[in-house]
Amino acid sequence: MKGKVALITGGDSGIGRAVALAFAREGADVLVSYLNEHEDARDTARLVEAEGRRCILIAGDLTKERHCAHLVKKCMAELGQLDVLVNNAAHQRVREDIGDISSAELDRTFRTNFHAMFHLCQAALPLMPKGGAIINVASIQAYQPSPNLLVYAATKGAIVTFTKALSEMAIKKGVRVNAVAPGPIWTPLIPSTMPKKKTREFGKDTPIGRVGQPAEVAPAFVYLATKDSSYVTGEVMAVTGGRTLS
């Protein structure tokens, strides 16, 4: 990825941070988008810069279409190009009954997980060069949805469909569009949104028998961002500890 530039949403921690570091180790400069976790974002920047690469940090609310457009413009202005877009930022809440889900929560989850991805792709695609790559973050929840993650799972199903449809449109411009579907991965989102009992058992139902780590997901993004995957588009790559996408 030497000489490439990547825009990564939700790059302050978890999978986003691991991807930023992996890209930097492969030679890319990165722009990291995050909500308001400033110290976490600075930690990501330090890791990227330790690899000798540039890291631009931009805080803001991805549910706002204007902010999505601003990120793309800032990437072009600060780093001069945009080769890889990683739509990773996500919001989830555990609810036991559909009646517990407010309209505000429904709206926020779709605006964070799906609308932001749409607006970023819409702003970025016209500026991306031939050979560019868009990588969306889906989830095993799109295929094996947990009822207590009803809205989150629905957004991930939408991301899978969007990825497949956009891939046929974008390849006409020479840009490949794929998705990574993680299984149970230990990120800050898990203990902050799940009951303690569920977090203790998180990932133990996989064939591998344990939760995954962000660093174990990041290589899939490197593959999909580089020429190694030049014949791959419209695909959803599972990183699930052995659980199948079915």
Kindly tell me if the per-residue pLDDT of 194 is higher than 90: no
Mean pLDDT score of the chain, rounded to an integer?
A: 95
Kindly tell me if the per-residue pLDDT of 192 is higher than 70: no
Nearest-5° Cα angle at 125, 81 to 169: 145
Give pLDDT tens digits for 70-121. 999 999 999 999 999 999 999 999 999 999 999 999 999 999 999 999 999 9
Q: How far apart are CA 217 and CA 43, in angstroms?
A: 19
List the domains of the chain with CATH numbers: 5-239 (3.40.50.720)
Kindly tell me if the per-residue pLDDT of 202 is higher than 80: no
Query: Residues 246, 120, 220, 232: what is their CA dihedral angle, to the nearest 10 degrees?
Result: 70
**Contact (CB, 8 A) for 176 and 237:** no
pTM to 2 decimals? 0.94
Active-site residue list:
152
